[in-house]
Structure 1
């Protein structure tokens, strides 16, 4: 029995060897496949976590942009309000009225014999809706006499100021109140876009630095307790904190110089468009919207080509000759220092300049201005000057694109509603403070509700990873960004063009960062 079994095994030893080899190969192949599957699963999990981390950082970055705009906007607002003192013109108008009342026979005879004029109603509207103090207008005989005596004392003094007529004051009030509100709208929109570019560029550097830090193998058994999260202020925008501070200080130019240059351009346009408008006349909301559009055409460009080629860079960033001046004025450099920007700072400023000159920037800025001007004219002026209530929002998304007959009728009636221009000027005067407010700014909320703004921010945040140089040496790279910014070559007609660019760039950001790290490790 044993001998027969031995002979059987001897006769089939080849088959046993082949079977054992097949089983072993199958086992090894199965283990290899399982290993590859686990590796792919782990890689997919890492990529998913990395993308979620990227999106979390991006969303936090956009919140930081909102708080930053609210923090620095009052600086520009103060400069513009000081340059266009509408309230002083209003004080002069009220003094004119007080002097006219003082020259009358008496308060009782005036009340019984003189009917209120259109100009009186206009003054009352400003007194109730503007920021002038009620004590500046006095109608009793004693205060009126005091005003007359003060006027005579001024006339008899050695220093005489040219006294403007009531018509001149009303014309100045008209130009100043409209120009101030429009300038603040432009400043708010430009500041929002500039802040988005700056903080998203720095956020990209911070993200890439964290990827490099996590991908770099630790040396020895040293435990690193360094916090790479967003709540660590020292590493909020990368490791080169001083460079980042100097880069952010370039917003000083828009807050102090750019807004003033923009104000003068807006004033010229308002004078040309609204110069012939009489504050006493009545004007429809549709006509006011048309005049506002004419002002925008003169500032931004009348045709599509003019708007596309409009240069906003001089309002946002200083020239090369003025960069040292801006750094000194913002407190980044000593008063006697003329140190040129470092290569890292130079790269950030150059890329910012290229982004501002890109067609996408002009397209998004136009959309932001559309939202800001619509909120001012179609909502605030319509409600406060024309007493038009805004239409109720549609509750059915399927019917949102199909206007109802009642909505069309209301829109026609709203465009034909009339109000005195003086009443509209009072609203312009009041809304200027709301536009430049640093807290609960409804105009900033309207601007940030534009979908293309977040899409543009995502493009800035996720593009040019291969050209970003973190603080570790990952190989030589270009020193400038003048030819490396990959923005859409043609102007997107809708937000979909930017969204497509975002999807291709934002989703591949982690892959670009990994390739950058692997390239540095191989070098």
Structure 2
């Protein structure tokens, strides 16, 4: 047929050109497939990997913060019980009750209801007869003055100590979580981690965490002494019958916190972590004395961990966050006092103009009774055994509010993401 003849003739005439064209077309397809499409697929894979890594980092970070919260709940009794025993307001209250019972019927300085076990719960240490006899030798006036100072000191000492322990634990666990993530990244990249070194690292990391011994055994007492001194100065002229509004009481607490942050900031930081060499040695002697030699090895893991922690604790940001946490505890306390003593005004809109003449006032004794109850809330870790622990944190309201402070999360994130 003419068509096939002409086509055959065309192919013979342009055979070389057709071969070259076909070769170039195939080569172009091969290049596009091998380079452009392959690079696009590689880009997609790397993007997925990057998103996966970011998600893993985020997940580990969230888990670390939850671990911090659970750790603090577990340590609460270890921290708070010595503070409660050191500031035995229950014993003082029992002495006041016994004096009231043994005295002749006379007009009472303070309402009987202020000394009920509902307001000031008796603890087991209240049965210590030797200590009780000491308080029984004091007058009622002396006992009320002592009760005032010790109750306020206990409350603020618990606030500072719990805040300090949470902040320190966040710092330590995020440093260790960052190290763990880097080791995992090395393994994923094809590197190897020596099993012996891993075992030794675990021991050192646990020993590093045990440096919280300082706050749990020594630091809280130093904080208590600092707090009691300022409390005595601010409340010395205020007796148990003095009537105060909750706002005025809040102002007095603010003055104490401001005084401590201005004049005793470094002492409080020293009480949270063994910053000085002598305190560090004492802590290691009581926890892991065999690691003292690590302090003389410049590139030892233990020394690096301690140096980074000391640097961060000494940093101004650490002190600022601690004050934010104490303020959070104080705000929670005031809210709870309002709910207990003045529920009608507890939810008053802050923008609403309040008639000063209608502001309720309460005897300091009433406020002290409520503080005793709030100390019990601060010490509460009964909600630790929650099998459904997830996004909803269990535990006391003070701990929950502390755990949600934005600056605390930012501080934790800055440590966790510092891969230098």
**What TM-score comes out, normalization by structure 2 length?**
0.84
Post-superposition offset of 1:389: 5.2
Alignment-derived partner of residue 43 in structure 1: 46
Deviation of residue 462 (structure 1)?
1.1
Q: CA deviation at 1:39?
A: 0.4
Q: Deviations over 1:399-434 (max 9, x none)?
A: xxxxxxx55338666993211110001111221122
Deviations 1:289-318 (A, max 9, x none): 11111101111128xxx97xx564311222
Q: CA deviation at 1:9?
A: 4.3
Offset from partner CA, 1:456-475 (integer Å, 9 cap, x none): 11111111x24xxxxxxxxx
Change over 3 Å in CA distance of 1:324–1:276 after alignment to 2: same
User: Corresponding residue for 2:146?
Assistant: 172
Whole-Å Cα distance in 2 between the matches of residues 415 and 287 of structure 1? 14
CA distance in 2, matches of 1:239, 1:59: 26
Q: Which residue of structure 2 lines up, in the alignment, with residue 89 of structure 1?
A: 92
Does structure 1 residue 437 correspond to structure 2 residue 380? yes
What secondary structure does 1:408 align onto?
Answer: coil
Change (3 A) 1:12 1:430: same
Please state how far the C-alpha of 1:210 moved relative to its aligned partner. 1.1
Give the 3 Å change call, closer, same or farther, for CA 411–84 of structure 1 in structure 2.
farther
Q: Which of 424, 437, 457 is equivalent to 2:412?
A: 457
Mapped to 2, the partners of 1:351 and 1:411 lie a distance apart of 49
Aligned to 1:139: none
Structure 1, residues 38-78: CA drift from partner, whole Å, max 9, x if none? Answer: 10101111111111111111111111100100111211211
Alignment of 1:27 with 2:29, yes or no, is yes
CA deviations 1:276-296 (Å, max 9, x no partner) are 112112111111111111101
Do 1:324 and 1:339's aligned partners in 2 also have CA atoms closer than 8 Å? no
Q: Is the 8 A contact 2:294 2:302 kept in 1?
A: no
CA contact (8 A) 1:311 1:357 kept: no
Displacement after TM superposition at 1:340 (Å): 3.7
Matched with 1:126 is 115
In structure 1, distance between residues paired with 2:261 and 2:267: 9
The answer as to 2:415 corresponding to 1:424 is no
Q: Secondary structure at the match of 1:283?
A: strand
Q: 1:328 to 1:438 in 2, by over 3 A?
A: farther
Give ranges in structure 2 of 5+ residues lacking alignment.
Answer: 127-132, 383-394
8 Å Cα contact 2:156/2:227 also seen in 1 = yes
The alpha carbon displacement at 1:238 in A equals: 8.2
CA–CA distance in structure 1, aligned partners of residues 15 and 292 of structure 2: 89
| Alignment deviations for residues 175-221 of structure 1 (CA, whole Å, 9 cap, x no partner) | 11001101100111111110001111111111111111122169xxx
Which residue in the other structure is 2:245 paired with?
A: 284
Decide whether the 8 Å contact of 1:285 with 1:414 is kept in 2.
no
Is the Cα–Cα contact under 8 Å of residues 97 and 115 in structure 2 kept in the other structure? Answer: no
Normalized against structure 1, the TM-score is what? 0.68
* Residue aligning to 2:318: 361
Judging changes above 3 Å, is the alpha-carbon distance between structure 1 residues 67 and 268 closer, same or farther for their aligned structure 2 residues? same
Q: Per the alignment, in what secondary structure is the counterpart of residue 287 of structure 1?
A: helix
Paired position in structure 2 for 1:187: 161
Alpha-carbon distance in structure 1 between the residues aligned to 2:151 and 2:357: 23
2:269 alignment counterpart: 313
Q: Equivalent residues in 2 for 1:346-385 (5 A)?
A: 346-377=303-334, 379-385=335-341
For structure 1, the 5+ residue unaligned runs are 102-109, 137-153, 155-159, 219-225, 227-233, 393-405, 467-523
> Root-mean-square deviation (CA), in Å?
3.1
Counterpart position of 2:80: 77
